[in-house]
Chain A
Amino acid sequence: MALLEVNDLSTSFRTDDGVVKAVSGVSFKLDRGETLGVVGESGSGKSVTFLTVMGLVDKRNSIIAGSVNFDGHELVGAKASQLREIRGRRIGMIFQDPMTSLNPVKRIGWQLQEAVLLHNDVTKAEARKRAIDLLKEVEIPRADQRIDDYPHQFSGGMRQRVMIAMALINNPEIVIADEPTTALDVTTQAQILKLMRRLQDQHHMAIIMITHDLGVVAELSNDVLVMYGGKVVEQANVDDLFANAEMPYTWGLLGSLPRPNTNVERLDQIPGQPPSLLRPPPGCAFNPRCEYVMDVCRRELPELTQSAHGEGHFFRCHLDDATRTRIWQSKKAALSEEAA
């Protein structure tokens, strides 16, 4: 059985203007030691999906349906005390902005020790030792001295390392990383990704990598979920996705990326804006921006269909197989042509 199994998960928020369906019908599985990449634009529901998984969505103004099964425990509707047991200990989380997710008036060491003391029956000295060990592990130089520094004394990359140390301090089985490298320079990003890969090998943990950068996904993931308008529009093994993308939105994402070895004059842009989740367009949520839109796309939501290319490859699109293959082959040729 998979370590984390999410089935038909939906999250809606009640607002003054009506109900916002932020996530609808998301399903996926994650095994130990695997990495799941989740891509999509801002507002596609990728962050909310995993806040719901962690039970971090405010219950008072939200409606949650579906199931989240973590190692035999059902997390949807679980008691707050039960969730606290799992969160921070068996599931760790790395947030995007290390500037705002660290407490600026507490020392780094205090913040790390707090996570240890909360979940383990240890003395303060033991917790401190564990904190120093972790800082060493995430390659902070002079960890035994730097532990008494405040967050503002660290650079952006070092703060992100502290966030990683904090997520890992109780040896979690899953780490959920929400855009962990978006605010960083490419060089620092390369350091952080290398560090995460090494730690994953050592601790055999599963990683969920939420990002809008397909490059990061390609480097780190085994499986990929592409989200749009709160729904999964394509999911596949990483090699399969980049080789045989089936959905026009995925094509758009791949095409809009400037590449190092190509010389295109214009990028293949996706026109328009992501849809409002308050009043999503009828049918396929992508239809107003899709260049291959047909009448049926405006009426009916396409089902998540099995692709001919791979076992776990699913997508939502009304285009018939022959047309899709023809369009993708020409797009793919255009993407890799200049690389030769």
Chain B
Amino acid sequence: MSASEPLLKVENLQKYFPVTRGLILQKEVGQVKAVDGVNFEVAPGETLGVVGESGCGKSTMARCVARLLEPTAGTITFGGRDITHLSRTQMREVRRDMMMVFQDPYASLNARKRVGSIVSEPLDVHNIGTEDERKRRVQELLEIVGLNPEHYNRFPHEFSGGQRQRIGIARALAVNPKLIICDEPVSALDVSVQAQILNLLKDLQKEFGLTYVFIAHDLNVVRHISDRVIVMYLGQVVEYGKSDQMYREPKHPYTGALLSAVPVADPKLGRTRRQIVLTGDVPSPLNPPTACRFHPRCPRFHDGVCNVDEPQLNPIGSDGHLAACHYPLERWPMDEQEMRSTVAVGAAE
């Protein structure tokens, strides 16, 4: 594999969950399109951030990539190898290079196992080293993530939330993976602890040349850690680009609304800034809106276009910045009024 080749390439990934009725016949009455045609690439050593509201399919997408869920359609290429249809045994081999860190450090560690055996589990599964070597490796890992190696024999409940997340990270690092998929790793933590974990992830990336897929709903966290970001809405990617660029000049109105929703830790700036507050919740993926899925909540909604014609993910500007919108934002920041008024001009034409 050459250096320019992506480590992970996902093409047209779909995951539909069937909705059934009846106990015996299980007649299929509909489909929840949790992930509907997602494409992206991650280069080695890069961090790809994934943001979106709850229910937008970001976790389902991650689980499909790790093959914890069977994708309905699409191709996943990892390290130059198509892993979409590998069997369980073949997949086991791949999983040495692809680990996951989960959101809830309280639920993702087995409460009845000692830290030592939790962290060494990947080593056991893959039959790496002798018992002695494993123990030494676990102690080394605990030290790497900033825990006391003597805590080897403790139980998860003896640790705080931040420390448990460190245990989860140590477990993911155990087999020297190339890619770590982090599914909301800091969402359940206090800001000060969150900063510790983010710094740790960055240090580990530098030290071991790791590649991350980093899922979060906090935009500031995603921007801080990511090189590129995808914004998801109802199972689809609405914007994809370099993180600096996307945060400076978002093109999709949804990205704009997400950015302006984040509270600003500066009272003066907070009072004067322009905010777009979206109304309503994310619509049900069982019956998503037609054409552009964002149109019922969009301040730039244009009748006859947005609800008829589905926008494609098209390049806008430079540097591979993509957005799926008929009326991409011309500048930023904007407030709701400005967004609307631009639409009115478009309608008059």
Please report A residues at the B interface, Cβ cutoff 8 Å: 41-42, 141, 155-158, 185-191, 193-194, 212-219, 238-239, 242, 252-260, 263-271, 273
Contact A191 B278 (CB under 8 A): yes
Q: How far is the CB of B156 from chain A (nearest CB, A)?
A: 15
Besides A42-B190, A219-B267, A258-B220, 4 new A-B residue pairs in contact (Cβ under 8 A), listed by A number: A190-B277, A193-B263, A242-B266, A267-B224
Provide 19 A-B residue pairs closer than 8 Å at the C-beta atoms, listed in order of the A residue.
Answer: A41-B192, A186-B219, A186-B261, A186-B262, A187-B258, A188-B281, A190-B261, A190-B275, A190-B277, A194-B277, A215-B265, A218-B265, A242-B265, A254-B265, A256-B195, A257-B191, A258-B198, A267-B195, A269-B195
A135 CB, min distance to chain B CBs, angstroms: 15
Please give the number of chain B residues whose Cβ is less than 8 angstroms from any Cβ of chain A in the complex.
44
Please state if A189 and B261 are interface contacts (CB–CB under 8 Å). yes
B220 to A: closest C-beta gap in Å: 4
Q: Are A258 and B221 in contact (CB under 8 A)?
A: yes
| Interface contact B270-A270, CB-CB below 8 Å | no
A270 to B265, alpha carbons, bound, how many Å?
18
A256 near B194 with CB under 8 A, answer: yes
The answer to whether A260 and B263 have CB atoms under 8 Å apart is no
Cα A251 to Cα B195 in complex, Å, equals: 13
CB distance from A146 to the nearest CB of B (A): 13
A212 to B261, CA, bound (A): 17
| B58 vs chain A, min Cβ distance (A) | 12
Complex CA–CA separation, A273 to B165 (angstroms): 13
Instruction: Report how many A-B pairs have Cβ atoms within 8 Å.
Output: 122
Interface of B toward A, CB cutoff 8 Å: 53-54, 160-163, 190-196, 198-199, 202, 217-221, 223-224, 244, 247, 257-268, 270, 275, 277-281
Contact indicator A158/B281 (Cβ below 8 Å) = yes
Distance of A215 Cα from B258 Cα, bound (Å): 15
Chain A residues, CB < 8 A from B53: 185-188
B265's contact among A186, A252, A257, A269, by CB below 8 Å, is which? Answer: A257
A141-B280 Cα distance, complex, nearest whole Å: 9
Q: Contacts A258-B223, A260-B259 known; A157 to B265 CB distance under 8 Å? A: no
A265 to B202, CA, bound (A): 9
Chain A residues contacting B219 (CB-CB under 8 Å) are 186, 260
Whether A263 contacts B202 in the complex (CB less than 8 A), given A187-B53, A215-B262, A218-B263, comes out as no
In the complex formed, the residue of A with least CB distance to B54 is A185
Check B190–A212 contact: CB distance below 8 A: yes
Contact A186 B258 (CB under 8 A): yes
Q: Are A266 and B275 in contact (CB under 8 A)?
A: no
CA separation between A208 and B261, bound complex, in Å? Answer: 21
> CA–CA, A300 to B263, complex, Å?
37
Q: Which residues of B contact A255 (CB under 8 A)?
A: 195
A258 to B243, CA, bound (A): 14
Q: Which residues of A contact B161 (CB under 8 A)?
A: 42
Task: Tell whether, in the assembled complex, residue A242 and residue B267 are in contact, meaning their CB atoms are under 8 Å apart.
Answer: yes
Of all chain B residues, the one with the shortest Cβ separation from A186 is: B261
Select B192's contact among A256, A263, A265, beta carbons within 8 Å: A256
Most chain B beta-carbon neighbours within 10 Å: one of A186, A193, A259, A268: A186
Which residue on B lies nearest to A242, using beta carbons? B267
Q: Are A260 and B262 interface neighbours, CB within 8 A?
A: yes
A109–B270 alpha-carbon span in the complex (Å): 36
Q: Which partner residue on chain A sits nearest B224 by CB separation?
A: A258
Complex CA–CA separation, A256 to B265 (angstroms): 11
**A162: min CB distance to chain B, Å:** 14
From the candidates A141, A219, A254, name the one contacting B270 in the complex (CB within 8 A): A219
Task: Contacts A189-B261, A191-B277 given; indicate if A273 touches B217 (C-beta within 8 A).
Answer: no
In Å, the complex CA distance between A312 and B217 comes to: 36
In the bound complex, residues from chain A placing their C-beta under 8 Å from that of B199 are 266-267, 269
Contacts of B54 in A (CB 8 A): 156, 185
Partner of B264, one of A219, A253, A271: A219
Q: Which of B195, B196, B266 contacts A218 (CB 8 A)?
A: B266
**B190 surroundings in chain A (CB, below 8 A):** 41-42, 212
Residue of B nearest to A262 (CB): B224
5 closest residue pairs by CB, A with B? A215-B263, A256-B195, A190-B261, A258-B224, A267-B195
B280 surroundings in chain A (CB, below 8 A) = 141
Interchain nearest-CB distance for B143 vs A (Å): 16
Assuming the A-B contacts A267-B195, A267-B199, A271-B196, are A238 and B221 also in contact, with contact meaning beta carbons closer than 8 angstroms in the complex?
A: no
Residue of A with least CB distance to B186: A258
